[in-house]
Amino acid sequence: MTQVMMAMSGGVDSSVAAAMLVEQGHEVVGVTLKLWGGDSDSGCCSVSDVDDARWVADQLGIEHHVFNMGADFDTHVVDPYVENHAAGLTPNPCVECNRHVKFGKLHDRAKALGFDAVATGHHARLETLADGTFRLGRGADTAKDQSYVLYMLGQEQLGRLMLPLGGMTKDEVRAQAHNLTMRTADKPDSQDVCFITSVGGRQKFIGERLPLTPGIVVDTDGNQVGEVEAVELVTIGQRRGLGLAGGSDPRFVTDVNPTEARVTIGKPKDLLVESTPLGQLVWADQPVGSGADAGTAVMVQVSAHGTPAAATFHVDDQGLGHVRWAEPHRRVAPGQSVVLYDAETADLVQGGGIVVRDAEK
């Protein structure tokens, strides 16, 4: 009998995943993480979420515990989120939460407590290759696939991970929850960043934690064409909120320079690049810092539900990764995650990294 620590968020996915594991005969203990102690309206980390998770656990006849990992969440997710905005980067806090907390601290605690595996309700699959190594694959529901936000998982984590929903669509998950008369059956999915409220948004959250800097907007020739209230809140590819006069040609942010409080805009063609540099590289089956051979073919995804694009990938002598696009590609904001999938099917995660500015590592 496998002893499984089931991460229960209080949502329908983890509820059904827990029920499936119990039905399969595993010894399941439900755990809900208390991460963010401030205001939240995203359907995550609230008192009602803990109550929902506990209710489902009671219904299934399994133990339920709450682990307070708020300090780790602040250190590894919230503080870097603010610092990255101050540096003109566009962070992905959900990726960092998975990296450091949900599949970092929780994984370590489960191992220390003697559990054989950790399970979650993510829509992704686990594959074992012929050589015995593990790979993360896309979930059956392409619209809900979460492999992108789990790209950082290595062999030890994958080897101790269970993803019961990998072969199910979201509709099938909800149908199963209804069959089990779960109170979470019709609960909406959590949206956006759990610590950013819809009322104040990023501006209020970041503005309470660092001084926001007004900036100028210039075109590619250096001519000032507008102003922004806070350069820290501007991101590559942004079109609105730039204080620009109306015009027929769309213009987008092509560069953010917080040091000089300057935002550069250009035409859509000015956003296109031949390659994208990556730091903080991780690999599914190699030590961190190892890399692909020069010219390795990959399919590359630059957002959680983006369309994969063909590219080649290599790592230079300084350990910096380079995605060379098969066709000119829209620039990805520094700070965002880029995930590499196998070239043939774009299904199995090979690795990934964080976009850096050209001069950074």
The answer to whether residue 44 is catalytic is: no
The model's pLDDT over 119-177, given as tens digits with 9 standing for 90+, comes to: 999 999 999 999 999 999 999 999 999 999 999 999 999 999 999 999 999 999 999 99
- Considering the domain architecture, whether residues 65 and 134 belong to the same structural domain is answered as yes
> How many domains are there within the chain?
3
- 300: in domain: yes
The conformational region for residue 241 under phi > 0 = left, psi -120 to 50 = alpha, else beta, is left
- Considering the domain architecture, whether residues 296 and 242 belong to the same structural domain is answered as no
Q: What is the pLDDT of residue 198?
A: 78
In this structure, what CATH number is given to the domain that contains residue 289? Answer: 2.40.30.10
- Considering the domain architecture, whether residues 231 and 343 belong to the same structural domain is answered as no
Give 155's contacts (C-beta < 8 A, 6+ positions apart).
133, 134, 284, 285
- Considering the domain architecture, whether residues 258 and 283 belong to the same structural domain is answered as no
- 207: in domain: no
- 124: in domain: yes
- 360: in domain: no
- Considering the domain architecture, whether residues 278 and 258 belong to the same structural domain is answered as no
44, 45, 94, 194: which one is catalytic?
Answer: 194
DSSP 73: H
- Considering the domain architecture, whether residues 262 and 276 belong to the same structural domain is answered as no
The model's pLDDT over 53-111, given as tens digits with 9 standing for 90+, comes to: 999 999 999 999 999 999 999 999 999 999 999 999 999 999 999 999 999 999 999 99
- Considering the domain architecture, whether residues 118 and 25 belong to the same structural domain is answered as yes
* Domain that residue 80 falls in: 3-179
Q: What is the pLDDT of residue 361?
A: 39
- In angstroms, the CA 343 to CA 322 distance is 16
- Considering the domain architecture, whether residues 108 and 51 belong to the same structural domain is answered as yes
- Considering the domain architecture, whether residues 13 and 99 belong to the same structural domain is answered as yes
Q: Which two tokens stand for residue 81?
A: 């989120």
- Considering the domain architecture, whether residues 7 and 55 belong to the same structural domain is answered as yes
- Considering the domain architecture, whether residues 168 and 304 belong to the same structural domain is answered as no
- 190: in domain: no
- Considering the domain architecture, whether residues 12 and 153 belong to the same structural domain is answered as yes
In this structure, what CATH number is given to the domain that contains residue 235? Answer: 2.30.30.280
The answer to whether residue 194 is catalytic is: yes
Stated pTM of the model: 0.92
First to last CA, the chain: 46
Inter-residue contact 38 to 200 (CB < 8 Å): no
In this structure, what CATH number is given to the domain that contains residue 35? Answer: 3.40.50.620
